[in-house]
Structure 1
Amino acid sequence: MTDLPAYYFRVRENGALVFRVDSENRQRRLELEQIATVNVRNGEIRPQGDKVLTDADRAEIAAWLAARQAQLAERDVDDILRAIDHMNLTAHWVQTKASEDQLERVTDALLLAMHDLRTVLVKKKADRVLKAAPPAPQPD
């Protein structure tokens, strides 16, 4: 049998269930003992039942949590980059292939969504510019 990790994380919607992996038992069976629940959104680590987490448990869970949060953040950016590709493909479709009926079905929804997105992007950009600007000189 190959070397197994000491912990297994069963990913779920908002985090994971954490299991300690035991392959060194008398029956030589692989056993997973649930020891905690992790919430990726708020970083909460809750021991399972009356389990007491060791420092090693907490360190491993914290490392997994940091890596998972970074992975999800990267996926968010990748999703947006894909959305940009889809916007470009949509523009090309509108210009070259869309029928009048198809345009009638999608135009208002697209215009509203693009207006909403533009409004939010402009506000966020203005906030960043104002935050980065040096303070105005004060009169003497």
Structure 2
Amino acid sequence: MVADLPEYFFRTREGGASVFRVDSNNRHRRIEMEQIATINMRTGEVRPNGDRELFAEDLQAINTWIADRKETLDWREMDDILRTVDQINGTAHWAQSKASDEQLEAVTDTLLMAMHDLRSVLVRKRANALADKEDAEKQG
């Protein structure tokens, strides 16, 4: 099992991760993890831990992890949005077929404001995209 361990472990946290080098080739045959860096995904900053110097292989592993993590987070974000569409559809069905007058009274204003806000953002973004496309076609 020791041979199957990765060289690095990334402990994810909000907005980044702590990077550990995994060592299982020690005299006690214990798995040791030494923190070598901290990653800030928002800024892209990789900060070595303490006075440590990161080697090229450390930076390569970190950069690969960052790219993979961005891809995962982007996928999760799209999945969340698609789940939201399902939730909206479920909410419409609930409002039409199951909700009592009291339940509808409790949520209607909040739902209408949230849907109005979402609609406004989507319409504005669509209009901007169409305008940008027209401008590009005129210039192209």
Q: Report TM bin, short chain.
A: over 0.9
Aligned Cα root-mean-square deviation (Å): 1.3
Tell me how far 1:27 sits from its aligned partner.
1.4
Q: For residues 82-129 of structure 1, what are the alpha-carbon distances to aligned partners after superposition, in whole Å with 9 as ceiling and x for unaligned?
A: 000000000011111111111110111011000000000000011111
1:78 shift after superposition: 0.5
Equivalence map 1:61-76=2 (5 Å): 61-76=62-77
Q: Distance in 2 between matches of 1:27 and 1:104?
A: 65
Q: What residue in structure 1 maps to residue 138 of structure 2?
A: 135
In the TM superposition, residue 68 of structure 1 has moved relative to its aligned partner by 0.4
Q: Which amino acid aligns with 1:53?
A: L
**1:60 counterpart residue number:** 61
- What residue number does 2:88 align with? 87
TM-score of the pair, normalised by structure 2:
0.94
Runs of 4 or more, structure 1, over 4 Å off, are none
Q: Secondary structure at the match of 1:135?
A: helix
How does the TM-score come out when normalised to structure 1? 0.94
The share of aligned pairs that are identical, in percent, is 57
SS at match of 1:19: strand
Q: Which residue of 2 aligns with 1:14?
A: 15
Q: Aligned partner of 2:129: which letter?
A: R
Which AA in structure 1 matches 2:94? W
Identify the residue that residue 4 of structure 1 maps to in structure 2: 5
Structure 2 unaligned runs (5+)? none
Q: Give 3-state SS (helix, strand or coil) of 2:138's partner.
A: coil
CA positional deviation for 1:40: 1.4
User: Residue type of the partner of 1:75?
Assistant: R
SS at match of 1:113: helix
The alignment of Structure 1 onto Structure 2 pairs a total of residues equal to 137
Alpha-carbon distance, 1:42 to partner: 1.7
Which structure: greater helix fraction? Answer: 2
Distance in 2 separating the partners of 1:23 and 1:56: 18
